[in-house]
A and B are shown apart, each in its own frame.
Chain A
């Protein structure tokens, strides 16, 4: 693989860090200027990420090394197809979320908006760092920055509930960080390297099998907390106390996706398919995530709080992504990676809908949504498309990724996991169906306006954009910056090396 040295990856990371400083310097004095920093940084970041796509499609790897932390341990950014996929997702959604956040924060006249936008920008820097991290230590550094930068966002409301939520979040993620650090230190002292390699680098260092399994468990635990693998998911529904744009971007996209991204990196780039087959641990992880898929979908059925229901649906979909990767066939890996992107677009639209409903009507619960579809047809129309898309119904892109997942499971002759996937799709319908039904067909509650009365346009337009991209990704998976090709390349590079 050809390596190109370039400063662009660093710039993508720095752009939002600089933005964060400008946001802090501007502060409350000039709100429009402050918000424009967010938008400018988001647009520049997206442009920088897209500018690297052609090189990645040519099969080149873009690399930037800051400094050597120790022999064989550089602080290094490396743009490969898989990282590119995640970076594209995060940078696209940041633009949408920036507009939406402005609408939401101003719509509710929230306090501490500077802190909010500052932390948000730092989170995005960290996410880019995670996406482009060339080795485990760089990944870990940005992963921890993400943890810290998210904490004030979860705490944002400063209520009793927010305290408990953010403390729980910290307890889970910091312990996970320590576990991860431990595993990293052991791997480094055994192999002397931590570089991500397609197809894994742990094989052939003569590490004892028992220790390898132990390390796998530690690493999956370390990343699994953020990825919400049961039983480590407990923080996620509690953290829904954060403002909705935070839940949307961070708990449907950046934080949890960073966890899933890390898990996939560990499965595919640290251990690799061959080693995992030899160890036999892949099957155990597959069963654990299958359990998560089914149980989280069932728990989602029981939630009345709109955002909590979405949170459990997130847990469900994250587990589906991991299941795709751990089945270790080319189609299932492609499907998993595509689902990482597709789920991001669809789920952010759903969270945006929950936020729009809250800003407009101050309703938080599913049971209060009766007849709202007539008042907010655009919002709930988008909701319907994306919710069905998550279950795998065209025309939203969930169909494409689930199709490849099914193909992959059949290829591996794992009928059990195929059934798990299809059952979860049915459960998806079961917990999203009532929302759609209530919104459009139930008798409106007296406080619902019978006329068209939407949320602020700054919120509706991002919803429609996210939905439009979701549909586009289904109609033509390559139309949006070659997402499909990139995912395919990533999957091929892993299996090709193995």
Chain B
């Protein structure tokens, strides 16, 4: 307990949320700066904490110096240290990129926006850092309520309705989680994860524990939008303002996936989750359906953002496949995919925001000549698209490689085939957009357009790139997508292999 950095990760965004709101009355231009600074501090603290973990092992931070299992304990190990860096980094880019679209869409609500945004980040890092199951619930609610508010903050007609829908689903999910926690508390008298992990193995035959486990898992599945509990997600995320969806879409589902991994591998032992209960095969099948349903619904969309939210449903399936195969290599793939998918989704949603901000276009069929209007944004889009399809050397390929290997090792051939086919579905989805953006002269006027194009060299289309505050985060993300791929071996050998419970 040498440093205070683990606390700073959570406290700084939380306090800044309050400051932001107060300062907003006086001058709302400060809010953006406060938010960026707060998240930057949080990111820096996460990096320092992670370094500390890599040097000295797991960090236990007792909030208010109360000893666990009575007090709340923050535990940072390789798994959540890694998650914290992902969350804070993507939040940082999302908040930087949000500047212009907030100024354009709802300038009068900027103080509210940034303070709720910071609360959402607080919730996400809180869920991840804490070592206490009840504290997870508290942060889960902070994050969810902030998310409900942010989704409804925009001017889109149906956004409040979508948000309300999400409130109902989300509350049921949180409720289920809380009931699960209650059951576990009933039999063990403890809320601390490490303590629970020690006490529970003797009680694996108890019906109470079984029911508690089921409630916890279903609650988390609602939050992570695993089929068939995904119904709230497409509307909520696609109707949210662009500045919000680029934060929520990449992170909310990933954090819930993290909680799922914690429940199945830390609080309960894999023996219970996979050998005593058929959770693996149930989740595996649901993931297969999620991937196909998400992919096919995405095929039916003309609006880029709608397409992405359905792809997100499918991507949740990928992570769940990695978890459900119940072997080391599959879990490696899942954890790697949490990072890769967060990066890809963040990049894609930032791009959607940039294009909508600059041109107002969200319909794919109107993407014509987008490569000349916004060449850098579209280059980033292409890289991300190739990664989503799973083409090397972008990072999407590498997590898919581990997921496929995991499924083969578990002899789950249906999962292998699903993963491979879904790459092809993604190929159709993304090459369609690329075709419109880069190559599309209306086929019916193809010949005439071609003559026109050769004689003028498309001179009439002016470059109209997104503002730097949006473009730079997009380009950083796209570069990372390319760089993370070849380095995934390094990431696995230095972080992820220690994040997986020993002996599993």
Contact = CB atoms under 8 A, between A and B. Distances in A.
Interface of A: 28, 66-70, 73, 75, 109-112, 140-141, 144-145, 147-148, 151-152, 155, 157-160, 163, 170, 174-175, 177-178, 181-182, 185-186, 188-189
B489 A69 contact: yes
Interface stretch (B164-172, B385-393, B468-476): B385-393
Nearest to B453: A111
Interface in B354-413: 386, 389-393, 397-398, 401-402, 404-405, 408-409
Interface in B200-239: none
Contact of B424 (A66, A69, A144, A175): A175
B30 interface: no
Nearest to B386: A148
Contacts of B449: 158
Question: At the interface, is chain B mostly helix, strand, loop or mixed?
Answer: helix
A491 to B, nearest CB: 31
A109 B386 CA distance: 31
A170 B443 CA distance: 19
A160 B489 contact: no
B64 interface: no
Given A144-B392, A185-B408, A158 B439 contact: yes
Contact of A188 (B405, B421, B440): B405
B424 A174 contact: yes
A415 B447 CA distance: 52
B197 to A, nearest CB: 29
A254 to B, nearest CB: 18
A111 B439 contact: no
Given A67-B489, A144-B392, A170 B457 contact: no
A66 B405 contact: no
A28 B450 contact: no
B66 interface: no
Contacts of B404: 181-182, 185
B441 interface: yes
Nearest to B402: A70
A152 B438 contact: yes
Given A152-B438, A178-B420, A69 B427 contact: no
Question: At the interface, is chain A mostly helix, strand, loop or mixed?
Answer: helix
B424 to A, nearest CB: 6
7 contacts: A69-B488, A112-B453, A141-B392, A144-B392, A159-B450, A175-B424, A181-B404
Range of interface residues on chain B? Answer: 35 or more
Nearest to A178: B420
A188 B454 CA distance: 49
A481 B488 CA distance: 39
Contacts of A177: 391
Contacts of B488: 69
Given A141-B393, A181-B420, A67 B490 contact: yes
A158 B448 CA distance: 11
B491 to A, nearest CB: 11
> A110, A158, A175 — which one has the most chain B CB atoms within 10 A of its CB?
A158
Interface string B466-504: 000000000000000000001111101100000000000
A377 to B, nearest CB: 31
A182 B409 CA distance: 13
Contacts of A68: 489-490, 493
Nearest to A109: B454
Contacts of B408: 185-186, 189
Contact of A170 (B427, B441, B458): B427
Nearest to A69: B489
A163 B423 CA distance: 21
Contacts of B427: 170, 174
A492 B435 CA distance: 47
Contact of B486 (A28, A66, A144, A151): A66
Contact of A163 (B397, B435, B447, B492): B435
Contacts of B493: 68
A188 B276 CA distance: 30
B446 interface: yes
Nearest to A170: B431
Given A112-B453, A185-B408, 13 more contacts: A28-B457, A66-B486, A109-B454, A111-B454, A140-B392, A141-B397, A144-B391, A158-B439, A158-B450, A163-B443, A174-B389, A181-B404, A189-B409
Given A140-B392, A175-B424, A182-B420, A67 B405 contact: no
B264 interface: no
A258 to B, nearest CB: 15
Contacts of B489: 67-70, 73
A160 B431 CA distance: 16
Contacts of B392: 140-141, 144-145
Interface string B422-439: 011001000100010011
Contacts of A110: 454
Contact of B401 (A111, A174, A178, A185): A185
A181 to B, nearest CB: 7
Nearest to A66: B486
Contacts of A145: 391-393
Contact of B457 (A111, A157, A158): A111
Nearest to A151: B431
A303 to B, nearest CB: 24
> B402, B439, B454, B490 — which one has the most chain A CB atoms within 10 A of its CB?
B439
